[in-house]
Amino acid sequence: MSDFTFETTPRVICEFDGALQLGSLCNEFGAKRAVLITDPGLQKVGLIDAPYQALIDAGIDTLLWTRVEADPPESTILEAVKGAQDFGADIIIGLGGGSSMDTAKLVALLCGNPQQLDAIYGIGLANGPRLPLIQVPTTAGTGSEVTPISIVTTPTQEKKGVVSPLLYPDVALLDAKLTMGLPASITAMTGIDAMVHAIEAYTSKHKKNALSDGLAIRGMQLMTAHIDDAVSATPSREAREAMLQGSMMAGMAFANAPVAAVHALAYPLGGHFHVPHGHSNALVLIEVLKFNRDAACAQYAELARAVLPGERFADDDDACDRFISYMTDMVERMPFTRQLRDVGVTEADLDMLATDAMKVERLLINNPREMTFEAARTIYATVL
C-alpha cells in the first residue's frame, strides 16, 4: 500500500437542530462579532432565522451577509471580505450550499491575512492565518464543510480553485433539520454531486488511499440507499440525515483523493451557462463512467458490490457494467433535465466547452484514463 497523508476538518458536530449551538460555539472561540454568510434564498424562506437568533441570544454581534451568488464570482467574494472587515469580524460562519461555504472560507482567509485573490488560485499558495471558521451545510452535496477547496468564477467565466489546508474550517456543523425543506430537484442535484465525489475519490489516479476509500464506500452506501426517499414528496428525517452524513464522508474522501474528469467537464457548464454544479456533474457523469470503464473496471466492480450487496456478479466485468447501469438508472429517475440542450448548450458551443475542460489540468490528471479534447467533445456531443 502507498504512503499517504490524510487531513480533514478537526471537529464535526452532527445533531438535529444543532445550528442552535452557533452562539455557544462562537463563545468557545472567544468571538464577539460574527459574520453569517448565506444566500438571499435561504433568508427569504426563513431558514437562517433560528441560527441567527441563537447567535444574538448568546450575545454575539452578528452581521448577516446574504448576497452570495451561485458559482460565486470574484467580485462577490471581495465585496463580502470588505463587509466583514468594515464590521470588524472576529469569526466567520458559512451557512448554505457550496457557494456560501466557499465564500465563507475565502472571507475568513482574506480577513485574517489580506492577499490578492487572483494570486492564490492553485494548490498551496494561500497564506495564513485566517479568522475562526464554522461551516453549516444546508444541502447534502458539496461536502465543502470538510474540504480545503474554494471554487471561484473568474471574470473570464473560468472556475478556478484556491486549495489550501487553511480552508478547512474549525467546525463542521451538520444539522439535517436545515435540509428538510429542500426542493426535490436540489436534493437530487446535490445528492448526485456527492456521489460523484465518492466515485471519483475511489478511482482517483493520484492520492487514492485506504481512509478515503472507506469513506467513499460508506458515503455511497448511505446515499444510494436513501436518495429516493430524500427526493420524495415526504422525505424522512432518516433519509435527510443519511444524505448529509454521506455527503460529508464523500467530501472527506475527495479532499484527500481528488476528483477528476466529471468535475473538469462540469466546470465549463457552470461557468458559461450557470448550470448548478450538481446538475453539471449529473449531465456528464454517465458518459464519463463509460469512457473510464476499462481503466477503472476493478474499482467500479468494488463499488457495485458495496451498493448492491444482494446482487450476484459473474466477474468484475459484469459488476462494473452493472454499476454503470445502476448509476444510469438513478440519474434517469432524478427530477432534473438530462440533456445539454435543456440548459442552453448548442452544437456551436461544444468546441468551447471541450477547450475549457482541458484547462482544468489539476483535475484531469486524476482521471483513471487520459481525457483528450476529442474525447471531451464527444462526451458533450453525446449528451447534447
What angle (nearest 5°) sits at the alpha carbon of residue 350, between those of residues 75 and 151?
Answer: 30
Does this chain's domain 12-179 share its CATH topology with 184-383?
no
- Residue 356's pLDDT is 95
Residues in CB range of 316: below 8 A, 6 or more apart: 297, 298, 301
The stretch 191-218 carries a mean pLDDT of: 97
Over the stretch 276-291, which tens digit does the pLDDT of each residue have? Answer: 999 999 999 999 999 9
The answer, yes or no, to whether the previous bond of 129 is cis (omega within 30 of 0) is yes
For the chain, the domains span: 12-179, 184-383
Query: What percentage of the chain's residues is helix, strand, coil (to nearest 5)?
Result: 55, 10, 35
Mean pLDDT value of segment 356-384: 97
> What is d(CA 100, CA 134) in angstroms, rounded to the nearest whole number?
12
Strands of the sheet with 149-153, listed across from one edge = 122-123, 159-163, 149-153
- Which pLDDT does position 1 carry in this prediction? 64
Q: What is the pLDDT of residue 271?
A: 86
Quote the pTM value. Answer: 0.94
What are the tens digits of pLDDT across the range 48-105? Answer: 999 999 999 999 999 999 999 888 999 999 999 999 999 999 999 999 999 999 999 9
Q: Classify domain 12-179 at the CATH topology level.
A: Rossmann fold (3.40.50)
β-pairing, 159-163 vs 122-123, is parallel
Q: What is the residue-wise DSSP string for 141-202?
A: S--GGG-SEEEEE-TTS-EEEEE-GGGS-SEEEE-GGGGTT--HHHHHHHHHHHHHHHHHHH
- Residues 310-361 pLDDT 10s: 899 999 999 999 999 999 999 999 999 999 999 999 999 999 999 999 999 9
Closest alpha carbon to 103 in 140, 65, 138? 65
> What is the arrangement of strands in the sheet containing 91-96, beginning at the earlier edge strand?
12-14, 171-174, 133-137, 91-96, 33-37, 61-65
**pLDDT for 70:** 85
pLDDT tens for residues 253-277? Answer: 999 999 999 999 999 999 899 999 9
Q: For all residues of the chain together, what is the average pLDDT?
A: 95
**What is the architecture of the domain spanning 184-383?**
Up-down Bundle (1.20)
User: What is the reported pLDDT for 298?
Assistant: 97
Share of the chain above pLDDT 90, in %: 91
**Alpha carbon distance 176, 256 (integer Å):** 25
Q: Report strand pairing: 149-153 vs 159-163.
A: antiparallel
458539496: which residue's cell?
142
